[in-house]
Amino acid sequence: EAGVAQSPRYKIIEKRQSVAFWCNPISGHATLYWYQQILGQGPKLLIQFQNNGVVDDSQLPKDRFSAERLKGVDSTLKIQPAKLEDSAVYLCASSFPKAVYEQYFGPGTRLTVT
């Protein structure tokens, strides 16, 4: 069974530039999560989708971050404009709707903002 796919794996940009990350969840997983993991900290939930609807985006900095999940499958997370403090690993995870306890994580995208 294929796991959660993310791309790119690494990205370096300058502050004030924009960047986008892509995630393809495990087939059949209706719930998709984006986490931000700053070095030395645990992952922090940014946004959670159920199919293509947002369940929780309370910790998403909406002035610069946006996410979408068209057609309820792939998802894109965008940052515009980026700040130095956005340097982190961005993790995507997915699960069945009634199995929030069983989240499967992708390898992450490491973003460096200079």
Partner 1 sequence: GNSVTQMEGPVTLSEEAFLTINCTYTATGYPSLFWYVQYPGEGLQLLLKATKADDKGSNKGFEATYRKETTSFHLEKGSVQVSDSAVYFCALIRNTGGFKTIFGAGTRLFVKA
The 79-98 contact track toward partner 1, x by CB under 8 A, reads: ------------x-x-----
28 binds partner 1 (CB under 8 A): no
7 binds partner 1 (CB under 8 A): no
Q: Tell me how far, at minimum, the Cβ of 76 lies from partner 1, in Å.
A: 19
Work out the number of other CB atoms within 10 angstroms of the CB of residue 85. 10
Q: What is the CA radius of gyration of the chain?
A: 13
27 binds partner 1 (CB under 8 A): no
CA distance 40 to 19: 23
Q: Tell me how far, at minimum, the Cβ of 102 lies from partner 1, in Å.
A: 6
Per DSSP (E only), the strands in 8-107 are 10-13, 19-24, 31-37, 44-50, 53-56, 65-68, 75-79, 88-95, 104-105
Where along the sequence are the contacts to partner 1 (CB under 8 A)? Answer: 3-4, 33, 40-45, 48, 55-56, 91, 93, 100-108
